[in-house]
């Protein structure tokens, strides 16, 4: 079965066809890619996968499956999973209601009766009043996501990417100091080194290490929050 792209609230991952496109790995700039990555970092979900989907996260497993046995592209396209989990349900087209089946009972669709014997200017005024009353956002912007798993809250891809980098570095180097984590991941102001009289280089400790350490702490805390949220099926934020 072929993979048919459907509309999503955010940019879908693009895998490319040429060698150059594949090497660029542009799909790693998609919020849905980060959703998958952080789910792989959730230890409780990992245990659920190891148990064949049994346990407290069985419902999440039924939808997301084993995220450890496939790479992201295989996982995304297999069983049409990307569309199934994140695509928006199509709304009916704008047009006349000609038959009973054309009525659409949904909070995002407004069925309107228009008596054509009334003056056009009056009807336009009344229609604009209805639109102003019922349309809660900007023109062309979807108000409520209809996806099975909608993206929740503000999306800051740079912050998410930095959080992942620092957290991953910490996992690989558990004894690395906080300021070193930030420095190695390139997420803070670099420490400047000065040359002393004996020719040795000494780090300029005038607050640089403290700032870097606090930056690393912030990203680690954010990564932990993202891992927790994704474990309840919400990302990057979590509804209260």
- What's the pLDDT score for residue 3? 42
State residue 189's pLDDT score: 75
pLDDT in tens, the chain (240 residues): 334 557 899 999 988 777 666 667 889 999 999 999 999 999 999 999 999 999 999 999 999 999 999 999 999 999 899 999 999 987 677 778 788 777 767 667 788 888 999 999 999 999 899 888 887 765 545 557 889 999 999 999 999 999 999 999 999 999 999 999 999 999 987 766 555 555 554 555 657 888 899 999 999 999 999 999 999 999 999 886
Peptide bond into 158 cis (omega under 30): no
Per residue in 85-129, pLDDT (tens digit) is 999 987 677 778 788 777 767 667 788 888 999 999 999 999 899
Question: Rounded CA gap, 229 and 153, in Å?
Answer: 12
pLDDT at 107: 65
The rounded distance, in Å, linking the Cα atoms of 169 and 181 is 7
Structure tokens at 200: 């040795």
Q: Tell me, what DSSP letter sits at residue 152?
A: B
Q: What is the DSSP string of 17-47?
A: SSHHHHHHTGGGGSHHHHHHHHHHT-HHHHH
With beta carbons less than 8 A apart as the criterion, state whether 143 and 108 touch: yes
């Amino acid at each position: 079965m072929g993979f048919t792209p459907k509309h999503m609230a955010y940019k879908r991952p693009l895998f490319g066809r040429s060698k150059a496109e594949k090497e660029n790995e542009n799909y790693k700039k998609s919020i849905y890619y980060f959703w998958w990555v952080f789910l792989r970092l959730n230890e409780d979900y990992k245990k659920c996968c190891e148990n064949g989907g049994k346990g407290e996260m069985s419902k999440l497993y039924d939808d997301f499956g084993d995220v450890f046995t496939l790479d992201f592209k295989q996982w995304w396209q297999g069983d049409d999973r990307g569309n199934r989990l994140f695509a928006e349900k199509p709304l009916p087209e704008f047009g006349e209601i000609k038959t009973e089946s054309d009525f659409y009972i949904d909070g995002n669709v407004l069925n309107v009766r228009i008596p054509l014997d009334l003056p056009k200017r009056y009807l336009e005024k009344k229609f604009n009043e209805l639109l102003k009353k019922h349309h809660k956002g900007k023109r062309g912007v979807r108000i409520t996501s209809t996806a099975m798993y909608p993206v929740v809250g503000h999306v800051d891809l740079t912050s998410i990417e930095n959080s992942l980098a620092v957290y991953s570095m910490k996992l690989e180097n558990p004894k690395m100091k906080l300021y070193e984590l930030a420095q190695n991941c390139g997420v803070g102001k670099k420490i400047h080194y000065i040359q002393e009289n004996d020719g040795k280089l000494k780090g300029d400790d005038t607050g640089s290490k403290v700032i870097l350490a606090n930056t690393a702490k912030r990203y680690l805390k954010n990564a932990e929050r993202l891992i927790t949220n994704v474990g309840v099926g919400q990302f990057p934020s979590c509804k209260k």
